[in-house]
Structure 1
Amino acid sequence: MPGVHATARIRAAADGRGGTSLPVLDSDGPLALRRTRGGADEARVMLVGAMSGPLGGDRFAVEADVDTGARLHVGSAAATIALPGQLKDEAHYAVRLTVADGGELRWLPEPLISAKGSDLHVSTQVDLAPDARLVLREEQVLGRVGEEPGRLTSRLAVYVGGRALLDQELACGPGAPGGWDGPAVLAGHRAVGQLLVVRPEFRDNPVAARVLGESAAVLPLAGPAALVSAVAPDGLRLRRVLDEALAALNAR
């Protein structure tokens, strides 16, 4: 039988009173969206997995649109675990994010764990207006404790004002191009992640490139953005590095 196909949708809009409303909050199948308590001007949404997956052959998608003047924070209740299924087909998880001028999106899900035998392709596309704001975190853990990883391919493409800001892809696990676990890529680490921060003020005051500890770096991008890339032995240490980097960027 075919895999599960599901698309969840969010739209955040300014409510005219200094806050943010959610005119669209549509769950679908295993992708359940729940509004939680947010700040005075921010709407907060939690993505709750209603079943295991994605499994082989599944096609999941999450779409979020942030209108002018709205602020949206999206997280997840738990890690997403890519699992093998009865179908041997590749599973797909697509994220599509759009932020208008004056809007702000904080996309901070829990990690994605690639379990042994799984085959998942994750694609994230972000379209930002020139004066939009974004904080986006991606964390990927290769295998559960004491387990070999599945195959994981992840692509992140970000555009600001229609111009490419970042377009990169990483493939890991069995069948991935050689060298993914070598010294030039993961160097034997089991967790890999990145933090992308886009702010209009970075145009005139760009972030300085620097190394963070032994396995992370901050890089200014050719646009109003900074990228933090990191590897770590496990997901807990990866989160610590990315949290410290975000705190440093917020303190500028």
Structure 2
Amino acid sequence: MTVRARARITAAPGGRLPVLSGEGPLAVRRTRPRERAGGTWAQVTTVGGMSGPLGGDRLRMSVTVEPGAALRVTSAASMVALPGPGRDGAEASYDTELTVGESGVLHWWPEPLICAADSVLRMTTRVALAPGARLWLREQQILGRAGEPAGRLSTRLIVRGGGRPLLDQELSFGPGVPGWRSGAVLGSHRAVGQLLVIDPDFGKRPVEPELLGPTAVLTPLAGPGALITALAPDGLALSRLLARGEDLITAGLRSG
């Protein structure tokens, strides 16, 4: 049976959540945020009421951060894309829309996505940032569980700031994708991820390009912002690379 599920989150100033609803794999709960500078934050955790997405499922997440509000969204566990019951190669979709108002802050911090063998998933994330908005967005994708082949994954990330395009990238991996195992794409690596940071303070002191290792790089973006892109043999190594980049970006913003 195909599942259609949607989650909606709206964060208002003062840590309020006037809208918080979710279902199925996108069940959401308010959780206690860590202490953070800049006022009262709200924190929401997706807990996943069932396995998925499975082949043919349609999932949609909509998040709105009102002007001056701050929100951190996490997940309780990794999301695992699985084949449908008949293993007929049906594609699942997961669409995310993130909107951040003027001077709002959003930390989008889910656990890794794992694409199990025979799964087919298309992910699209659209971000709209008002002037002065801040965004920390982390994505981690792992192709196949331990000891199994990869599923097929297509992702697209579209970010606009103040009505202008900041980033638009599309990636595809897995069986049926030409050259995805070549040295120009993933090679022998099974994990890929990125950390995108958009912050007006980069306009005062842009980030400097830096290699974080043989398969990870920190690059400046217009916006102003910074992007870390990393490949790794597994999820743990990927997490460590992104954490190192996060520390560098945080230190740079503080020093500025």
Overall identity of the aligned pairs, in %: 55
Equivalent-residue separation in structure 2 for 1:237 and 1:29 (angstroms): 30
Which piece of structure 1 moves more, 32-41 or 120-129? 32-41
Equivalent-residue separation in structure 1 for 2:185 and 2:176 (angstroms): 16
1:56 aligned partner: 55
Aligned pairs (5 A) from 1:192-203: 192-203=192-203
Equivalent-residue separation in structure 2 for 1:251 and 1:205 (angstroms): 12
Aligned pairs (5 A) from 1:21-100: 21-38=16-33, 39=35, 41-86=40-85, 88=88, 89-100=90-101
Q: What's the RMSD between the two structures over aligned residues?
A: 1.0
Gaps of 5+ in 2: none
2:11 aligned partner: 12
SS of the residue corresponding to residue 136 of structure 1 reads strand
| Paired positions, count | 246
TM-score between the two structures when normalised by the length of structure 1: 0.95
Which piece of structure 1 moves more, 29-38 or 134-143? 29-38
Q: Deviations over 1:23-45 (max 9, x none)?
A: 00011233111111113611110
Q: Which has the higher helix share?
A: 2
Equivalent-residue separation in structure 1 for 2:184 and 2:211 (angstroms): 16
Which piece of structure 1 moves more, 75-84 or 214-223? 214-223
Indicate if the aligned counterparts of 2:46 and 2:74 stay in contact, CA closer than 8 A.
Answer: yes
Indicate if the aligned counterparts of 2:143 and 2:190 stay in contact, CA closer than 8 A.
Answer: yes
2:235 aligned partner: 235
Q: How far 1:185 moved relative to its partner?
A: 1.3
Q: How far 1:159 moved relative to its partner?
A: 0.5
2:124 aligned partner: 123
Q: How far 1:210 moved relative to its partner?
A: 1.3
Equivalent-residue separation in structure 1 for 2:209 and 2:179 (angstroms): 26
Equivalent-residue separation in structure 1 for 2:187 and 2:148 (angstroms): 17
Q: How far 1:204 moved relative to its partner?
A: 2.8
SS of the residue corresponding to residue 8 of structure 1 reads strand
Q: How far 1:148 moved relative to its partner?
A: 0.4
Q: How far 1:96 moved relative to its partner?
A: 0.6
Q: How far 1:10 moved relative to its partner?
A: 0.2
2:174 corresponds to which letter in structure 1? G
TM-score between the two structures when normalised by the length of structure 2: 0.94
Gaps of 5+ in 1: none
2:66 corresponds to which letter in structure 1? D
SS of the residue corresponding to residue 244 of structure 1 reads helix
SS of the residue corresponding to residue 251 of structure 1 reads helix
Equivalent-residue separation in structure 2 for 1:221 and 1:182 (angstroms): 27
Q: How far 1:180 moved relative to its partner?
A: 1.4
1:29 corresponds to which letter in structure 2? G
The alignment status of 1:151 with 2:146, answered yes or no, reads no
Equivalent-residue separation in structure 2 for 1:169 and 1:9 (angstroms): 25
Moved over 4 A (4+): none
Q: How far 1:187 moved relative to its partner?
A: 2.1
Equivalent-residue separation in structure 2 for 1:26 and 1:49 (angstroms): 12
SS of the residue corresponding to residue 23 of structure 2 reads coil
1:224 corresponds to which letter in structure 2? P
1:30 corresponds to which letter in structure 2? P
SS of the residue corresponding to residue 238 of structure 2 reads helix
Q: Deviations over 1:19-65 (max 9, x none)?
A: 31000001123311111111361111000111111001100011110
Q: How far 1:13 moved relative to its partner?
A: 0.4
1:199 corresponds to which letter in structure 2? D
